[in-house]
Amino acid sequence: MLRRCAHSAHTWLRRTAALCEKLPEDCVQLLADDEDFAVRLLLAEWRPTAPPELLYVLYLHGTHRAVGMLVSRPGFPSAGQAARCADAEDPRERALALRDPAAPPSLIERSAGTRTRACAGRRPTIPGWSSCSTTRRWAVRQRPTPRCP
């Protein structure tokens, strides 16, 4: 029955399928590529194994207020984001580069945006973060903590 809903021409049936825990993995990928934004967003919000690329694309290009919380999903991509996002024009995308565990300390130092720099100063998981005293002192002065990806 879930397969039929996932393959349905009716948007509401596909949205319902996106909410189901027992949705087969092949249907997860089908719905991740769905043309309807709500189907993709529901899948990303409710499916613990939502495809990482779906989470990334929705976070950057989604227009719904719920896309901001997608960075807290366990499957949100972190590895490789420094190379992918460090030179992006969008400050939200640049901030994603700081989620990469292999991000170099120089990336933190050159983080230009206020929000990006504040997020960098609060990420002790980034190698070399303690050596960036300027960033850390700046970040400590910023209260309350901004929403960091």
pLDDT means per 10 residues, the chain with 149 residues, are 93 95 92 95 90 90 82 84 81 83 76 56 52 43 46
Q: How many CB atoms lie within 10 A of CB 46?
A: 13
- At residue 138, the pLDDT reads 40
- Locate all alpha helices (DSSP H) within 1-124, ordered by sequence: 2-6, 11-19, 25-32, 37-46, 52-61, 81-85, 91-96, 105-109, 114-121
Q: How many CB atoms lie within 10 A of CB 107?
A: 22
